[in-house]
Each structure stands twice: as C-alpha cells, then as structure tokens.
C-alpha cells in the first residue's frame, strides 16, 4: 500500500515551510528513522524522518520549494517491496491543512454557559440553648485541626515548627502531644519541597494540612500551589484529586516591613481549581477550617496574625462546620454596604458604628470565602442599599476589591446610586517606620469617609 508523505507540522504554530533539501531520491529504499528531507520553518531547519519502510516513489514537491502548506503531499512511499515509482503521479499535491479540519470542528464553546451552582448552602442554625463561649481565633483554628484529626486518620499537619515548638504562632499548640510525631511533622525550612510533598501526599490519598509560617514564604512554593495542586483534577479529567489545605497567616503583621507583610488573597483567588478562604472571627475560622479539611479540593486558608489573639463568641457544638463559598452578613443596614474579609471586617464594623452615630446604617458583609466568590449575597445587599464600599487590607490594583467593583458594574449596574469605592492599603511596599506603616494601612476612618462619599454626605 502506498503511503503519502505530507508536509509535516514541525512546531505548534507552523502553517507552511520551505522544502529545502531532499536527502533521498526516487527509487531509494528507506528504513524507519532514515532522514528523508530537510524542512525549513520560520524558526529552524528540521530533519524529516521516515516512519515507514519501503521504496521512495514519486517526489511531488521538488527541493527549494517555498511556502509549502502543512499537509501537502510531498512524496509517496511504497510498502514492503512495492514499486510505486509510477503510481505516485495520481496523488495531487494539494494542501490538506489542519486549518481546514479545524473549521469543521464543532461549534466553539461560546454558547456554553458555566453550570449554575445548585441550591445555595447557608450556615446551619445554632440550636437554642447552645453554650456560647469566648474563644480566640488561635484556639478555634487549633480545635478545628484537632477535631478533624480525631475524626479522620488521614489528616496530618506538617510545616516549620508545628510540632516540638508548638507552632511559630502557637496555632498548632498541643497537637504533637495528642497525635504524636507521625501526624504532626516538623519540616526543615524548605517551602518548595514540603509544599510539593504535601501536595503529593494528597494525590496519594492523605489529607495534609500544610502550614506556612506566613504566606510570604509560600511564594517559594507557589509552583506547587498553582501548577501541581490547582490544576491536576482538571488535567486528569477528574481522576486525580488533591485534597490539601495550605494555611497560615497572611497580610500585614506589625512592623515587619515589606517582605513579611503582604496580602496574597487576590493572587490565589485568581486561579481556577483553588478554594480560597479568609475568615475573620473564631466561629468562621473553626467552621471553615473544618470544612476545608473535609473538602475534596485544594484549599488556600488565609489567616491573620493580628487577629489570632482576638476572642469571639463560639457556639459549643459537637461538629461546627460551615459552608464554603458563602458570605455572611455580619451587620445589617439599609444605607450603604461595606464588603470586606479577614482583618478588614474588624475595621468595617468599627466604621459601621461610627457611621451609625451620624445616622448612616451600614450593612457589613464578610466574604469569608474568596473563591468561589458569593456574588449573590453582595448583589442582594447592593440591591437593598444601592451604595457599596469595599474595605481590603491589601493593595488596590487587581485586588478582591477590584473584583467586587467589576461584579457590581457587570451585574449590579441598575442598582447603583453612586460609584463603588475601594478602600485599600496605599500602593507601596509596606514601610517599617511606625508612622509610615500606619499611613499605608487601611483603618476605619478611611472606610467611614468612603461610605459617606457614596452616600453623598
């Protein structure tokens, strides 16, 4: 059987090339692997190998021919012992480019809508008479891990100083004592490596909770968070899951300057395949960390060092788990909506108190989960107040705040009575000097000012 040799595509982008040289002539016997010709692309001269054996029949495109389209029949080879020297002329040199095939492919995905989320989850009701106890965020996080470790043997904690030192910020306090060194593992200072090991352990069926001493150091591990953890389920057609939690403090701490003070929320929330959670109070910290550990998807869990020591009322329940992907209205109001997350929620609540004194009732929304983002809660509130401000302890450009602005513009335009304003950190690396640091970070007076502005007050 004669085999048509077609002009090969030698790079992902090649559409045509020059057949610079034939290294065989009509009638030659060739073996698989023999080099037949040299082809010049826009990038390089490539060798064209035979994959079949047989006799070279008709050469249809002479050497030196330029702009030969990919897919053009350039020669004919006969099978074992077959003489095709005269039969080749029938094969016309016409381009059968990949372009043509593409045009026959099914309709582009344009018309396809992403699937709508099913019935929206909401926080479970706290039964009447439940004991409420003030608990620090630090303890709430610790209890979440401990409870999940008791519940599921596959859960383990790894990171720098998580075991014997009891956690650099004491979030893992007591875990080593209860669960032993098999499940509470001190790592060397080697973020790239242990983030990869944690991710691989999740692929292998375990439930790792990987602590970054702070998220600033997660930059050394970014590749595994994005390329290994987030994309694997998709790339494997749903075969390979990666149920890992990366957690640790994020955002500005206090007087540790630029390299140790950054909010990475928008970086991570940019990436499909990740869940990004950033709680504010103890109840959300505990309920969402427990949900994160049970979650089948990779989770980035952003805590805040300045909030670790704050106490909040926490319901004493056997199993306090909250839904991922659901914002929470932490203060109801009718005049203006303040959207925030993490430490910003504290500033937003302070601002709401101050605004109330001036007769402005602000509704405060804690996003809690940044990806998937609960647009509905934001838009419902906007429909009620018609004015919205976002408070974010982070830089303004390409921020969560920008995203909320975009959502309000696209889906809430008709509700708007004023432009949506962002209250973010100053657009500079965080300085060390006390006065400059204070100037750079958001605070409640700035939120009050923005809220009054959108209320035209």
Partner 1 sequence: MAKPAARRGTSSSKTNRKSKAATSDSSDENFELRSLQDEYSEKKRFDASDDELLELYERMLLIRRFEERAGQLYGLGLIGGFCHLYIGQEAVAVGIQSALEGGKDSVITGYRDHGHMLAYGIDPKIIMAELTGRQAGISHGKGGSMHMFSTEHAFYGGHGIVGAQVPLGAGLAFAHKYREDGGICVAYFGDGAANQGQVYETFNMASLWNLPIVFVIENNQYAMGTSVKRSSAETHFYRRGTAFRIPGMDVNGMDVLEVRQATEIAIKHVRDGGGPVLMELNTYRYRGHSMSDPAKYRTREEVQDVREKRDPIEHAKALLIERGISEDKLKDIDKDIRAKVSEAADFAESSPEPEASELYTDVLVGNY
Region 311-340 residues binding partner 1, contact defined as CB under 8 A: 323-326
Q: Work out how close the CB of 302 gets to partner 1 at its nearest, in angstroms, rounded to a whole number.
A: 17
* Catalytic entry in 15, 260, 350, 437: 260
Q: What x/- string results for residues 3 through 32 when contact with partner 1 is judged by CB under 8 A? A: ---x-xxxxx-x-----------------x
Region 395-454 residues binding partner 1, contact defined as CB under 8 A: none
- The closest of 337, 350, 148, 161 to 243, measured between CA atoms, is 148
> Which of 168, 185, 265, 364 forms a contact with partner 1 (CB under 8 A)?
185
- From 78-86, 182-190, 245-253, 309-317, span contacting partner 1 (CB under 8 A): 182-190
Q: Is the dihedral of CA 342, 232, 159, 432 positive or negative?
A: negative
Instruction: Give the Cβ contact number of residue 420 at 10 Å.
Output: 23
> Which of 37, 146, 175, 203 forms a contact with partner 1 (CB under 8 A)?
203
* Catalytic entry in 147, 148, 160, 191: 191
Helices 400-411 and 375-385 pack at an angle, to 10 degrees, of: 60
Does 234 contact partner 1 by CB under 8 A? yes
Q: Is 270 a catalytic residue?
A: no
> Which of 19, 75, 76, 176 forms a contact with partner 1 (CB under 8 A)?
176
Place of tokens 């593409």: 102
Rounded-to-integer distance, Cα 76 and Cα 30, Å: 12
Which phi-psi region, left, alpha or beta, contains residue 255 (left: φ > 0; alpha: ψ -120 to 50)?
left
Helices 282-294 and 137-151 pack at an angle, to 10 degrees, of: 30
Would you say 135 or 324 has its CB closer to partner 1? Answer: 324
Region 243-282 residues binding partner 1, contact defined as CB under 8 A: 272-273, 275
Does 297 contact partner 1 by CB under 8 A? yes
Rounded-to-integer distance, Cα 37 and Cα 27, Å: 15
> Which of 18, 20, 65, 193 forms a contact with partner 1 (CB under 8 A)?
193
Q: Is 260 a catalytic residue?
A: yes
Residues near partner 1 (CB under 8 A), total:
92
Would you say 117 or 132 has its CB closer to partner 1? Answer: 117
- From 196-204, 314-322, 352-360, 404-412, span contacting partner 1 (CB under 8 A): 196-204
Q: Work out how close the CB of 60 gets to partner 1 at its nearest, in angstroms, rounded to a whole number.
A: 16
Instruction: Give the Cβ contact number of residue 445 at 10 Å.
Output: 13
DSSP 372: T
Would you say 234 or 432 has its CB closer to partner 1? Answer: 234
What residues pair up with 339 in beta bridges, in sequence order?
Answer: 365, 390
Would you say 62 or 204 has its CB closer to partner 1? Answer: 204
> Which of 172, 199, 250, 266 forms a contact with partner 1 (CB under 8 A)?
199
* Residue 12 contacts residue 30 (beta carbons within 8 Å): no
Rounded-to-integer distance, Cα 393 and Cα 165, Å: 30
Q: Work out how close the CB of 215 gets to partner 1 at its nearest, in angstroms, rounded to a whole number.
A: 19
What is the spatial order of strands in the sheet that 336-340 belongs to?
328-331, 362-366, 336-340, 388-391, 421-423
> Which of 65, 192, 375, 396 forms a contact with partner 1 (CB under 8 A)?
192
Region 85-114 residues binding partner 1, contact defined as CB under 8 A: 97-98, 101, 105-109, 111-112, 114
Does 212 contact partner 1 by CB under 8 A? no
Does 118 contact partner 1 by CB under 8 A? yes
Q: Work out how close the CB of 337 gets to partner 1 at its nearest, in angstroms, rounded to a whole number.
A: 22
Region 29-68 residues binding partner 1, contact defined as CB under 8 A: 32-33, 35, 41, 43-49, 51
Residue partners of 230: CB distance under 8 A and separation at least 6: 242, 271, 272, 273, 274, 298
What residues pair up with 207 in beta bridges, in sequence order?
Answer: 155
Strand pairing category for 299-303 and 328-331: unpaired
Instruction: Tell me how far the alpha carbon of residue 55 is from its chain's centroid.
Output: 54
Three-state secondary structure call for residue 276: strand
Per-position DSSP letters for 182-250, written without gaps between them: TTEEE--S-HHHHHHHHHHHHHTT-EEEEEPSSGGGGGGGHHIIIIIIITHHHHTTT------EEEEE-
Place of tokens 């400059």: 436
> Which of 126, 132, 133, 235 forms a contact with partner 1 (CB under 8 A)?
235
Q: Work out how close the CB of 341 gets to partner 1 at its nearest, in angstroms, rounded to a whole number.
A: 16
Q: Work out how close the CB of 306 gets to partner 1 at its nearest, in angstroms, rounded to a whole number.
A: 28
- From 183-191, 355-363, 391-399, 430-438, span contacting partner 1 (CB under 8 A): 183-191
> Which of 156, 215, 267, 341 forms a contact with partner 1 (CB under 8 A)?
156
Does 201 contact partner 1 by CB under 8 A? yes
Active site residues: 191, 260
């Amino acid at each position: 059987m004669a085999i048509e040799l077609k002009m090969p595509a030698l790079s992902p982008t090649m559409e045509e090339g020059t057949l610079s040289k034939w290294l065989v002539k009509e009638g030659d016997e060739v073996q698989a692997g023999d080099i037949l010709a040299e082809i010049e692309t826009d990038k390089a001269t490539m060798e064209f190998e035979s994959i079949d054996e047989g006799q070279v029949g008709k050469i249809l495109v002479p050497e030196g021919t330029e702009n030969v389209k990919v897919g053009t029949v350039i020669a004919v080879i006969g099978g074992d012992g077959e003489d095709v020297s005269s039969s080749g002329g029938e094969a016309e040199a016409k381009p059968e480019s990949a372009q043509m095939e593409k045009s026959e492919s099914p309709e582009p995905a344009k018309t396809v809508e992403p699937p709508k989320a099913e019935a929206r989850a909401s926080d479970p009701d706290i039964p009447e008479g439940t004991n409420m106890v003030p608990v620090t965020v630090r303890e709430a996080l610790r209890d979440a891990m401990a409870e999940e470790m008791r519940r599921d043997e596959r859960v383990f904690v790894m990171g720098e100083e998580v075991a014997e030192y009891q956690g650099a910020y004491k979030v893992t306090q007591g875990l080593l004592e209860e669960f032993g060194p098999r499940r509470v593992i001190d790592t060397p200072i080697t973020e790239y490596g242990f983030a990869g090991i944690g991710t691989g352990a999740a692929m292998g069926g375990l439930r790792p909770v990987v602590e970054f001493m702070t998220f600033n150091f997660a930059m050394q591990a970014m590749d595994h968070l994005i390329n290994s953890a987030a994309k694997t389920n998709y790339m494997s057609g749903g075969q390979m899951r990666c149920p890992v939690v990366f957690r640790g403090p994020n955002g500005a701490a206090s007087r540790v300057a630029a390299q140790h003070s950054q909010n990475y929320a928008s970086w991570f929330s940019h990436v499909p395949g990740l869940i990004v959670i950033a709680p504010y109070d103890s109840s959300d910290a505990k309920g969402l960390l427990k949900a994160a550990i049970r979650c089948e998807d990779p989770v980035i869990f952003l805590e805040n060092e300045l909030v670790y020591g704050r106490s909040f009322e926490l319901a004493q329940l056997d199993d306090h788990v909250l839904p991922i992907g659901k914002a929470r209205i932490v203060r109801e109001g009718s005049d203006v909506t303040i959207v925030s997350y993490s430490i910003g929620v504290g500033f937003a609540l302070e601002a709401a108190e101050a605004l109330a004194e001036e007769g402005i009732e602000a509704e405060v929304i804690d996003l809690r989960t940044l990806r998937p983002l609960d647009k509905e809660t934001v838009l419902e509130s906007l429909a009620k107040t018609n004015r919205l401000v976002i408070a974010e302890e982070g830089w303004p450009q390409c921020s969560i705040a920008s995203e909320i602005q975009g959502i309000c513009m696209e889906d809430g335009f008709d509700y708007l009575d004023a432009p949506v304003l962002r209250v973010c950190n100053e657009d500079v690396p965080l300085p060390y000097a006390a006065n400059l640091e204070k100037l750079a970070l958001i605070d409640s007076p700035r939120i009050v000012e923005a809220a009054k502005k959108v209320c035209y007050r």
